[in-house]
Amino acid sequence: MCKARDRKARLHSYLFDFMWEARFQLCIEGPKPRPQSQFRRRGVRRLLTQKFYAEIGQAGAYTRRSGLDRETNKALLLRHITGNAVEGARLQELIEVLRHQSRDQVQGLLRELKREGQIWFQGTTKGGRWFPRQGKLHA
């Protein structure tokens, strides 16, 4: 009976110390930043809020972690394709341009650019190359 009471007293003491420490940390450090959710197809990607990154002086880290919007990614691809208009740009090069995107995501952006009439594709499989529309020489 005495051992059980001692264990219970130690547990209460431990919990009290733990809660006191947590309250003390909260008073000193302030509230912890809340994560901001970004929904994607598979699962949820968690980010800290933009305000938090601004407060710690790393506003660029938020932009880097949240990623660029779709139009900016398409502009980067088009810029690379236009810069390599003579020899064309291979898919592997374009994946390196947007290394934070998957292969399928890059291909989706390329399909959109093609549908919009800004680029065209010559060749098949890995050997194919993307060219800007104004540089098209054949019908």
Which has the closest alpha carbon to 93: 106, 109, 75, 111?
A: 106
Q: Considering only residues 24 and 46, tell me which one the structure prediction assigns the higher pLDDT.
A: 46
* pLDDT tens by residue, 63-99: 667 777 889 999 999 999 999 999 999 999 999 988 8
pLDDT at residue 115 tops 80: yes
pLDDT attached to residue 10: 66
Q: Considering only residues 58 and 138, tell me which one the structure prediction assigns the higher pLDDT.
A: 58
